[in-house]
Structure 1
Amino acid sequence: MFFISNLAISHDGHKNEDIVLNDLGNLGEVNFDISCDAQSQKAFNTGLGLLHHMMYAQAEQLFQKWLTQKPECAMLYWGYSMSLFHPLWPDKITKEALANGQQALTKAQKLQPSPREKAYISSANKYYDNWQSIPEKARIASWANAHEKLYQDYPNDIDATAFYALSQLVIASATDKSFSTNKKVGKILTTVLDKQPLHPSAIHYSIHAYDNPVLATLGLTPARAYDKIAPDVPHALHMPTHIFVRLGEWQDTIHWNARSAAAALKYPTKASTSMHYVHALDYKIYGLLQLGEAQKAHETLGEIASHHPIQNTFPAAYALAAMPARMTLEQQNWLQASQLKTSHPSYISWEKFPQVEAITYFARGIGSARSNNLPSANENL
């Protein structure tokens, strides 16, 4: 059992806001040999598993804890730096996090890592190096190129393959409607599944690869397998529903997100309820509305009242804005839509998420227009 505590190193969006996983055993099978002692090895595998599940905040806390105990272990610094970088997520890394990540990798490079470890550290450093002057898009491209070389140099390394696949998804063309890169990534990840079917990366990243209208049917098999390797990880219970939503599998969408929300509530937080809780409920409400289960959707929305405050992060802000907007617009409750509360709940830093706050004003504007209240519609517009 690991007890994860908040330490000095943190950054905006994570401090005092993260799930504490009391039992980190159910993450799948991750075996990445490092040149450190047995305790560091066990901690590193756990942290790497969290990274592959994109439980970044939890990985950050774990690596922080073990760095204070094992400051001589180079790959713990690599893990910490990777926990700050969320390549597929819409959040924006802070300058503080960039500085911390770069500092960690500089420290790692001075600890005489093994050649393989040095290759991983160097690849991560491509994202952080000269972050003050090099645009993020260029640094991500360098990071992806480095992972392609890592994959070529270590073709039998499961994690090198996994991170290469992830990097290709990150740089995939947004205008390619055939999703050719995603298809390639899916085939690459199949080789990981063949070698180690319980490795979390292949299942998780496959779902991301197939999370589009063209390839969604290919995502059903990994989606239905994800909870078997990580039944207690909220994101592992939620992520398959990206595929279920695309295919109209509404009962599965509802059921899996109910499980995800319940899992998120099981883990204590120091200051708030996990963002994974409301993220799952947003999808659950969407599924209920598609089945015409308006009353159940309303009850689900009401459950949140007893779990405030929620993490002050982008995903939480999005869910908290989207859920009431969905409820009113999907049911054509125009008057209710026109009266939605703005900047609610007030503890969320809405000024940091204007594109999310706009959802509320959009719903209010549509509701006002449909209620023949032109002044209000113009005001919200």
Structure 2
Amino acid sequence: MKRIIPLLIAGVMVYASAASSQEMHSHPAPEKLGKVTFATSCAPKVAHDFERAVALLHSFAYTASEKAFQDVAMADPSCAMAHWGIAMSYFHELWSPPGREELAKGEAEVKQANRLPVRTERERLFIAAVAAYYRDADHVPAPVRAKAYETAMGTAAKRYPADTEVQVFYALSLIATAAPEDKSHANQKRAGAILEPIYRDHPDHPGVAHYLIHAYDSAELAPRGLAAARAYSKIAPSAPHALHMPSHIFTRLGLWDESIASNVAARAAAHSQGDFGEELHAMDYLTYAYLQRGKRAEAEGVVQSLSMMNTQAGSDFKAGYAATAMPVRLAIEGRQWDVASKLQAQPGSAPEVAAIVYWARAVAHARSGDAQAADEDIAKLESCRQQLAADGKTYWATQVDILAKESKAWQLAARSHPDQAVEGLRLAADQEDGIEKLPLTPGPIVPAREQLGDLLLATHRPREALQAYQTALAAAPGRRGALNGAAQAADAVADTRTASQMRALLSK
């Protein structure tokens, strides 16, 4: 025993020494952003850093990408393409357009790029394309400038059909300029046709997988995006947006557990990197998925955590939208009309964001039987619609018009005008079916077609209600409210097979 004790002590000392050594030499996990090959005429010493900056850009890590391109410009002051990259980091093609400050900075970077020697035609075409976006930004609307960028990238794509980066950036421009009302998804299909063969040859390219997800983010095309969705988070796990993006396809297909896992990871990564907007974006998708999975307590936990965050982000569209939508989703999907009627828009909210709250309050008042109380919020919705139309934001003006139609329909129902209410919700549903959602949101708080089913069921028209719910589920598979409503409507018409199918889907 006496001999064993010194051996144990020695073993402990060796272990402690080894542990200490490991602790001293421990490192964070290596950065993994995918593989990008982007040749430039810049100094060879900045080649790797330039490609890293482009990889960050492809995963919409805009702040990190800006900093990375700035570092390249510092290391090689003659590198015109570094300034191209900085200008691109302010563009945000699939998000809201850059504000005045970012537009001014982007224009300055384009001018700096043009002051420097541009040694290849390919580089000239890249710089000319981003210059087309920033040109005359004070007078030319953002969609027109985005189309000018797409046209310029199309010229580059024709000139360099075998160049991966030219083709990938061109595909993204096609997605960004796709008309929301084009239900044929012509641009998205063109982008997919460009990206699919590149994906086969470059399966580790972050932009290819990312943009395939965006190209296929629709009810029609979502099944095509599943492979890219399951790959992207493994290609670029160091980018929070890459962890989140797969949930766009998972949401379209009703794969709630996969969406939850995706956004739990994205939320944690965004928080650790201080990416406030991305954290809130992931939280909104997470709240939505928890509610569809029937995990209300978990959804409540996500929404409650907003109180510990500085969510006064009215001027930040992405953050402001998510922070506003989450409590609205929780209250409306839970049919907590009293809670919904007391929601408040954040100070400084854009009209398209504040409108969600006005809609929630109007619907809550109407559905709790107080039709008159909805008047004020319906008037606010009309004011938002007019402001958006005056500002040239036709997409959002249409979305707010849909919200206003829904609110008025529920008000008519509360005033015992069921036929007029049904007609109003049909119009809203037809209008909503004719326009795509933006990547900003997992979907409407409650799709208009699903609301139509609710109204038809409440007014004792179960056969029509079942049809409305089934149409809603074809566009948004797995939504809990539509599945519940369809099961009840099927019970009412003695369609036991459909009722069993709906309840089986609910219990998955």
Give the superposition deviation at 1:195. Answer: 2.3
Say whether the 8 Å CA contact 2:259–2:289 is kept in structure 1. Answer: yes
The equivalent of 2:290 in structure 1 is: 288
1:315 aligned partner? 318
What's 1:107 paired with?
112
Indicate whether 1:94 and 2:99 are aligned. yes
How does 1:256-271 map onto structure 2 within 5 Å?
Answer: 256-267=262-273, 269=274
Using the size of structure 2 for normalisation, the TM-score is 0.65
The one-letter code sitting in structure 2 at the alignment partner of 1:277 is: E
- Which whole-Å CA distance do the structure 2 matches of 1:243 and 1:200 have between them? 16
Match of 1:122 in 2: 128
Cross-structure match for 1:164: 170
| Whole-angstrom distance in 2 between the partners of 1:131 and 1:322 | 30
244 and 292 in structure 1: CA distance in 2 versus 1, 3 angstrom threshold: same
Q: Is the 8 A contact 2:56 2:239 kept in 1?
A: no
Partners of 1:184 and 1:66 in 2: CA distance: 33
Please report the TM-score for the alignment, with normalisation by the length of structure 1: 0.86
Gaps of 5+ in 2: 1-27, 379-508
Measure the CA separation in 2 of the matches of 1:326 and 1:113: 51
Alignment match, 1:178:
184
Residue 193 of structure 1: which of 182, 188, 199 is its match? Answer: 199
Separation in structure 2 between the aligned mates of residue 178 and residue 342 of structure 1, nearest angstrom = 35
Change (3 A) 1:94 1:278: closer
Distance between the aligned counterparts of 2:337 and 2:312, measured in 1? 28
- SS of the residue 1:355 aligns to: helix
| Matched AA of 1:302 | Q
Kindly provide the CA deviation profile for residues 359-381 of structure 1, in whole angstroms up to 9, marking residues without a partner as x.
11211221122233345322222
Q: Note closer, same or farther for the CA distance 1:376–1:62 as it changes in structure 2 (3 Å cut).
A: farther
Q: Indicate yes or no: 2:246 matched with 1:243.
A: no
> Equivalents in 1 of 2:336, 2:144: separation in Å?
46
Q: Give the drift of 1:242.
A: 0.8
AA paired with 1:32? F
Would the alpha carbon gap of residues 31 and 23 (structure 1) be closer, same or farther in structure 2, given more than 3 Å must change?
A: farther
SS in 1 for 2:357: helix
Contact 1:24 1:46 in 2 (8 A): no
Note closer, same or farther for the CA distance 1:132–1:328 as it changes in structure 2 (3 Å cut): closer
Answer whether contact 2:58 2:210 (CA < 8 A) is retained: yes
CA-to-aligned-CA distance 1:244-289 (integer Å, 9 cap, x gap): 111111111111111110111111x4xxx51111111111111111
SS of equivalent to 1:113: coil
C-alpha distance in 2, partners of 1:98/1:108?
Answer: 15
Is 2:368 aligned against 1:371? Answer: yes
Aligned length: 349
Per-residue deviation, 1:65: 4.1
CA separation in 2, counterparts of 1:262 and 1:95?
Answer: 31
The residue type paired with residue 187 of structure 1 is A
Contact (CA 8 Å) 1:275, 1:310: kept in 2 or not? no
| Structure 2 residue corresponding to 1:207, chosen from 188, 204, 213 | 213
Q: Which residue of structure 2 lines up, in the alignment, with residue 336 of structure 1?
A: 339
Q: Which residue of 1 aligns with 2:159?
A: 153
CA distance in 2, matches of 1:287, 1:136: 32
Structure 1 residue identity aligned to 2:319? A
Q: Secondary structure at the match of 1:188?
A: helix
* Aligned counterpart in structure 2 of residue 141 of structure 1, from 139, 142, 147: 147
| Cα offset, 1:290, TM superposition | 1.0
Measured in 1, the distance between the counterparts of 2:165 and 2:172 equals 10
Between the aligned partners of 2:238 and 2:373, the Cα distance in structure 1 is: 46
User: For residue 360 of structure 1, what is the aligned residue in structure 2?
Assistant: 357
C-alpha contact 1:193 1:203 (8 A) present in aligned 2: yes
- Give 1:253's match in structure 2, choosing from 240, 256, 259: 259
For 1:35-54, list aligned pairs within 5 A. Answer: 35-54=41-60
Identity percentage of aligned residues: 38
Query: Which structure 2 residues correspond to residues 6-21 of structure 1 after superposition, within 5 A?
Result: none
- Contact 2:256/2:292 (8 A) holds in 1: yes
Larger displacement relative to structure 2 (301-310 or 72-81): 301-310
Greater RCO, 1 or 2 (C-alpha within 8 Å, sep 6+): 1
- Residue identity opposite 1:243 in structure 2: I
Q: Structure 1 residues 310 and 201 mapped into 2: Cα distance closer, same or farther (>3 Å)? A: farther
- Judged with a 3 Å threshold, the aligned counterparts in structure 2 of structure 1 residues 158 and 109 are, in CA distance, closer, same or farther, namely same
Determine the C-alpha separation between the residues in 1 that align with 2:61 and 2:30.
12
The answer (yes or no) to whether the contact 1:217–1:247 under 8 Å persists in 2 is: yes
Q: Retained in 1: the 8 A contact 2:97–2:142?
A: no
Once structures 1 and 2 are overlaid, which stretch shifts more, 367-376 or 243-252?
A: 367-376
- How far has the Cα of 1:194 moved from its partner? 2.2
What's the CA shift for 1:212?
A: 0.6
Partner in structure 1 of residue 478 of structure 2: none
**Paired residue for 2:280?**
278
Runs of 4+ that moved beyond 6 A: none
| Counterparts in 2 of 1:192 and 1:334: CA distance versus 1, 3 Å | same
Q: What is the CA-CA distance between 1:62 and the residue it aligns to?
A: 2.6
Gaps of 5+ in 1: 1-21
Give the partner amino acid of 2:286: K
Shift of 1:125: 1.1
1:222 is matched with: 228
Structure 2: distance between partners of 1:354 and 1:175? 21
3-state SS of the aligned residue for 1:193? helix
Measure how far apart 1:310 and its partner are. Answer: 7.1
Q: Could you report, residue by residue, the CA deviation over 1:97-152 in whole angstroms, capped at 9, with x for unpaired residues?
A: 22322221122122112212122111211112233343433322221111111111
Give yes or no for contact 1:30–1:199 (8 Å, CA) kept in 2.
Answer: yes
Matched position secondary structure for 1:148: helix
Matching residue within 282, 302, 308 for 2:304:
302
